[in-house]
Amino acid sequence: MNRYQLRKAVSRGLLLVFSIIIGAFFALPLLWLLTAPFSTQANLSVTIPEQFSLANFKTVFNNRFAIRALAVNNMIIGGGVMILVASIATLASYGLSRTRVPGRNVLVYVLILFSSVVSGTAAMVPLFLLIFNLGLIDTYLGVILVITGGLLPSAIFIMRDFVDSIPRSYEEAALVAGASSFRMFRDVAFPLVRPGVMVVAIWAFVNAWGAFLIPSVLLRSPEHMPASIAFYSFYTEAGTPNITLLSAYAFLYTIPVLLLYLIVNWRFGFRFFGGIKS
């Protein structure tokens, strides 16, 4: 073995060690999620269940409230946010890209500026009052609107670079051929930007799916609560978690996001943060 092959083997070995360390760092906390749901004796440790069982899931499925939270409320909120964010951001970034709107660059940066400033708990205080005054407390709409508002600037930022990179020749050809602006958008432009729209839609959905703060502040009645809050219903009155059921519920709550990631990664390879670099 000559020096080159030796060097190559050593660097491969180092990378492997590095990967194992980093991989372990990121994987270890999640292991519990793979073992606890399937054991009726589950506790906070990671132990392979003596008897692989789906009993926890059965019990969880019988909890109408929790399942409703997951299957219905999360879907409504997630779906609502996804549709709103995707459509508004696409329209906005398309308009920004294809028109000589004065100060369009400044506009996007100001948007990002504001969304970074008015974020998190700080924003919740005035937003709560706003939703309260609109009579939208404890409604899906209130939650959807607020989450959408928070996500929009970033969504526009992501889409803008994407739309800019699509050549206009197709759209111009359609206009020359006689299509009206909206016809052209529907038939030509939209199909072209569809991959970007899908990425933004999924990103918005995942964000809304996991949201805790906004729903917890804006919702009151249990029928409207999403899974992130229903999660805590698996604690007893005394404040101790019912681990077997909690773990199964957490597992169910996580699966859709996991699947979405795998699908997106398989088809797009997680490229959407290319926009950030500029």
Alpha-carbon distance values, 4 to 10, 11, 12, 13, 216 (Å)? 10, 11, 12, 14, 59
Phi, psi of 223 (to 5 degrees): -65, -20
Q: Least Å distance between CB 16 and other proteins?
A: 7
| Closer Cβ to other proteins, 71 or 129, answer by number | 129
Q: How many residues does the chain have?
A: 278
Pick the binder of other proteins from 51, 64, 237, 277 (CB under 8 A).
277
- Do the beta carbons of residue 272 and residue 203 sit within 8 Å? yes
Q: Least Å distance between CB 54 and other proteins?
A: 19
Site residues for other proteins, 235-254, by CB under 8 A, read: 241, 246, 250, 253-254
Question: Cα–Cα distance between 76 and 215 in angstroms, integer?
Answer: 13
- Binding of other proteins by 64 (CB under 8 A): no
DSSP H or E run through 21 = helix 3-35
DSSP secondary structure of 49-88: -SS---HHHHHHHH-HHHHHIIIIIHHHHHHHHHHHHHHH
Q: Least Å distance between CB 53 and other proteins?
A: 19
Q: Which stretch binds other proteins (CB under 8 A): 11-19, 48-56, 59-67, 192-200?
A: 11-19
Pattern 180-209, other proteins, x by CB under 8 A = -x------------------------x--x
Site residues for other proteins, 100-129, by CB under 8 A, read: 100-102, 109, 111-129
